């Protein structure tokens, strides 16, 4: 295995000393980059995920173009339910759709236990190829969805702003929900372990829909399954990041569940979360992604606010509070990276 030339991100995940704050950007391999759109012209989204050469190409793009301190493998959390047997359609207009959403206990029998080495080989191949092409330049992050978030997609089937199907499901069929969450947790754990085996240096669990739950439902339907995934993970010292979108408490519980890093959305104050969580976990985030629509001066002001809020010392990985938006000018992202690289030094003296 190649030694990393830039391991700032990994050191920050472990709350070790760094000369400056590392930065990467969620969805950094994405539509805002003209170089990405050029690849995307050749193939649809899922084909890109399933073609290791294309996935590796777009994964590496932002490392060179934007200057981030980590790459994240180009893929999608929904490849796991697809591997479990669900029919997935990816439409750019409507969002992802499962043609056969799960609604009843009897629907669960269509789901199979996955063997990632076989069923998701294309992701592992993309990881191996990316690691080779990165040549130790920066670490590579793997990822998967939280069981709760994947179940939400699998039960809803398509977009639904009230999340009525998933809520009916957990309230009226809680036993079935727990069975399904267990199955998904096993699959995700197997998948992330295989990603680590294939070479990723860290993994991120996306709990994108955790925030639609009340605090007590979160404690019942999301948190324990994140804990299951993490504790079943086969890893050496690869850190686990949990992106807790829309969650405004439970941060300490996420750290107790085994998250080494908690990734925050832009609505919480990162400094206040740091005070609560103490030395239990590193924090990632949390600039409002829409700030990248602003002029350079405003971008700098807002980036400085995030760094100042976190304050001095280790354990901060700069990121946005959600994925970068497709119509952001790439030069704004590049400027943000420069600002963080330069202005964060004083917090690490």
Enzyme catalytic residues: 27, 31, 40, 76, 153
Candidates 13, 77, 141, 213; binder of a copy of itself (CB under 8 A) is 213
Q: Does 242 bind a copy of itself (CB under 8 A)?
A: no
- Please state the closest distance from residue 213 (CB atom) to a copy of itself, in A: 8
Q: Which pair of tokens denotes residue 59? A: 């994964």
- Please state the closest distance from residue 298 (CB atom) to a copy of itself, in A: 5
Q: Does 272 bind a copy of itself (CB under 8 A)?
A: yes
Q: Does 214 bind a copy of itself (CB under 8 A)?
A: yes
Q: Does 162 bind a copy of itself (CB under 8 A)?
A: yes
- Please state the closest distance from residue 155 (CB atom) to a copy of itself, in A: 13
Q: Closer to a copy of itself by CB, 2 or 91: give it.
A: 91
Candidates 6, 51, 252, 267; binder of a copy of itself (CB under 8 A) is 267
Number of residues that bind a copy of itself (CB under 8 A): 34
- Please state the closest distance from residue 152 (CB atom) to a copy of itself, in A: 12
3-state secondary structure labels for all residues of the chain: CCCCCCCHHHHHHCCCCCCCCCECCCCCCCCCCHHHHHHHHHCCHHHHHHCHHHHHHHHHHHHHHCCCCCEECCCCCCHHHHHCCCCEEEECCCEEEECCCCCCHHHHHHCCCCCHHHHCHHHHHHHHHHHHHHCCCCCEEEEEECHHHHHHHHHHCCCCCCCHHHHHHHHHCHHHHHHHHHHHHHHHHHHHHHHHHHCCCEEEEECCCHHHCCHHHHHHHCHHHHHHHHHCCCCCCCCEEEEECCCCCCHHHHHHCCCCEEEECCCCCHHHHHHHHCCCCEEEEEECHHHHHCCHHHHHHHHHHHHHHHCCCCCEEEEECCCCCCCCCHHHHHHHHHHHHHHCHHHHC
Region binding a copy of itself by CB under 8 A among candidate stretches 45-53, 83-91, 105-113, 214-222: 214-222
Candidates 115, 217, 314, 343; binder of a copy of itself (CB under 8 A) is 217
Q: Does 266 bind a copy of itself (CB under 8 A)?
A: yes
- Please state the closest distance from residue 60 (CB atom) to a copy of itself, in A: 26
Candidates 305, 314, 343, 347; binder of a copy of itself (CB under 8 A) is 305
The Cα 20–Cα 189 span in angstroms is 32
**Whether 70 contacts 79, CB under 8 Å:** no
Site residues (CB under 8 A) for a copy of itself, limited to 281-300: 288-291, 293-295, 298
Which residues have a Cβ under 8 Å from the Cβ of 347 and sit 6 or more positions away? 21, 307, 310, 311, 312, 313, 316
- Please state the closest distance from residue 321 (CB atom) to a copy of itself, in A: 8
Region binding a copy of itself by CB under 8 A among candidate stretches 1-9, 33-41, 230-238, 320-328: 320-328
Q: Closer to a copy of itself by CB, 128 or 325: give it.
A: 325
The Cα 210–Cα 244 span in angstroms is 7
Candidates 93, 104, 106, 172; binder of a copy of itself (CB under 8 A) is 172
Q: Does 164 bind a copy of itself (CB under 8 A)?
A: yes
- Residues at the site binding a copy of itself, with contacts judged by CB under 8 A: 162-164, 167-168, 171-172, 211-217, 246, 248-249, 266-269, 272, 288-291, 293-295, 298, 305, 321, 325, 327
């Amino acid at each position: 295995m190649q030694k990393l030339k830039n391991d700032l991100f990994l050191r920050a995940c472990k709350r070790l000393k760094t000369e400056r704050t590392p930065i990467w950007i969620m969805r950094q391999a994405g539509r805002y980059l003209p170089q990405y759109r050029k690849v995307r012209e050749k193939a649809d989204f899922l084909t890109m995920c399933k073609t290791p050469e294309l996935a590796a190409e777009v994964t590496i793009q932002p490392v060179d173009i934007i200057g981030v301190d980590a790459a994240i493998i180009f893929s999608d959390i929904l490849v796991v339910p697809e591997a479990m047997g669900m029919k997935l359609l990816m439409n750019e207009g409507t969002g992802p759709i499962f043609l056969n959403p799960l609604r009843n206990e009897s629907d669960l029998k269509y789901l199979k236990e996955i063997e990632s080495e076989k069923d998701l080989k294309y992701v592992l191949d993309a990881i191996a190829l990316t690691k080779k092409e990165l040549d130790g330049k920066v670490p590579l992050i793997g990822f998967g969805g939280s069981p709760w978030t994947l179940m939400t997609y699998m039960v809803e089937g398509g977009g639904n702003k009230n999340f009525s199907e998933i809520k009916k499901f957990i309230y009226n069929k809680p036993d079935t929900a727990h069975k399904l969450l267990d199955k998904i947790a096993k699959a995700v754990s197997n998948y992330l372990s295989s990603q680590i085996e294939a070479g990723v240096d860290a993994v991120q669990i996306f709990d994108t829909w955790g925030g639609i739950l009340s605090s007590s439902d979160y404690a019942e339907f999301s948190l324990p399954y994140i804990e299951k995934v993490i504790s079943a993970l086969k890893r050496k010292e690869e850190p686990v990041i949990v992106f807790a979108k829309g969650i405004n408490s439970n941060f300490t519980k996420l750290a107790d569940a085994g998250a080494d890093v908690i990734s925050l959305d832009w609505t919480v104050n990162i400094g206040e979360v740091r005070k609560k969580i103490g030395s239990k976990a590193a924090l990632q985030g949390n600039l409002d992604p829409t700030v990248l629509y602003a002029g350079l001066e405003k971008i700098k002001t807002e980036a400085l606010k995030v760094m100042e809020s976190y304050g001095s010392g280790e354990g901060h990985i700069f990121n946005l509070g959600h994925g970068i938006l497709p119509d952001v000018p790439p030069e704004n992202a590049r400027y943000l990276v420069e600002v963080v690289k330069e202005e964060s030094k004083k917090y690490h003296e």
